Amino acid sequence: MFAYAGQAILHGIIAALFVEALLRLWRVGEPDERLALRWLALAAPLLVTPIYSLAAPVRATGSFGVRWALFSGHHWDQLRLGGTDLTTFVTLVLMGLGLLLFLRDVLPYLHDRMRTIAETRVTDPGDPRLARLRRVLALIPDSPSIDADVVLIDRDGPVLLCSGAGRRPSVLASTGALARLDDAELRAALSHEVSHLVRHDPQAGWVLLLLRTLQIVSPAAQIVGRHIVQELEYRADMTVAREGYSAELVRAIARLSQADPALSNPERRARPEFRRRLVAHTRRLAEEARRCRLEEAAPETRSVAPIRAVLAAAGLALLLFFVV
């Protein structure tokens, strides 16, 4: 079981690097194709590793490892570190890293979700803020098709997200977010959330969480999972850009992130200054990258995308067959 976990982790790392290289070599800009390739990297260890283990037991023999394998973890058994072989040591370190990355993303998510559920909601239909939210949402062409619940949370902090967990999809916004955005910016931000709902991204998020949980000790799966979330965001951003609201979305992102309590809350400022600066710097870089992508011309859809996805899957499967 431990050897299988080690091989699945190794396959995950190779799949992630393989897909990352393909995205660059093929210059894939179209969000759907980028997403398809990322999903391939995430799913490959869950499909390929068990199939090969069951259907091709010859891969586990020593002669395959020596004569045919491109890489065999057993060859590292001869190097020892701290009383154990290097293969076991590296596998344990990677498992710990994978678990850490998983918890790093999931715990804050669960915390925020529980907090959002418990928060006071503005339910008065006559409340002008709720009325404004509904009015701006109605301006978005796709909003009637999704028939989303509109939820206004009474919080100063910036919250603007969508959820597909209930019977009906919902768009959640906080009073703090509404106060910081003008109508055009709010429309751009809501259009981004509606795009998520139209494409069933919240459901994709649950599938993503499931696949990450199944590979809880694989660091590559956790990193690819993060990349998939970024690609989903990018795809929603592109929808807003196509509607001609990219400048407004850039402004909305800037205003909401300035009000993020992670950077401005006095309680949180007590943490080490260097860490606060690092977080702020990383956020700035991410926002800058997002802004640049929004200002770029939208990538064209390529008709070769489906064939390329199949080719990538076949190539990756072939490569992983010789990694034991």
List contacts with another protein (CB under 8 A). Answer: 14, 18, 21-22, 25-26, 61-63, 65-66, 69-72, 74-80, 86, 302-304, 307-308, 311-312, 315, 318-319, 322-323
- Least Å distance, CB 89 to another protein, is 13
Q: Please list, in sequence order, all residues whose beta carbon lies within 8 angstroms of the beta carbon of residue 295, skipping any fewer than 6 positions away.
A: 246, 250
- Least Å distance, CB 313 to another protein, is 11
Q: In whole angstroms, give the CA distance from residue 224 to residue 183.
A: 35
- Least Å distance, CB 7 to another protein, is 13
Q: How many CB atoms lie within 10 A of CB 307?
A: 10
Q: Closest CB to another protein among 83 and 266?
A: 83
- Least Å distance, CB 25 to another protein, is 4
Q: Could you give the count of Cα atoms lying within 13 Å of 294 in the half-sphere of its Cβ?
A: 25
Q: Closest CB to another protein among 22 and 189?
A: 22
CA-closest candidate to residue 187, choices 140, 243, 134: 140
Q: Closest CB to another protein among 20 and 142?
A: 20
Q: Closest CB to another protein among 25 and 297?
A: 25
> Are 235 and 194 contacting, i.e. CB atoms less than 8 angstroms apart?
no
CA-closest candidate to residue 171, choices 154, 151, 192, 199: 151
CA-closest candidate to residue 254, choices 212, 224, 287, 298: 287
Q: Closest CB to another protein among 28 and 236?
A: 28
- Least Å distance, CB 38 to another protein, is 16
CA-closest candidate to residue 256, choices 168, 322, 161, 171: 161
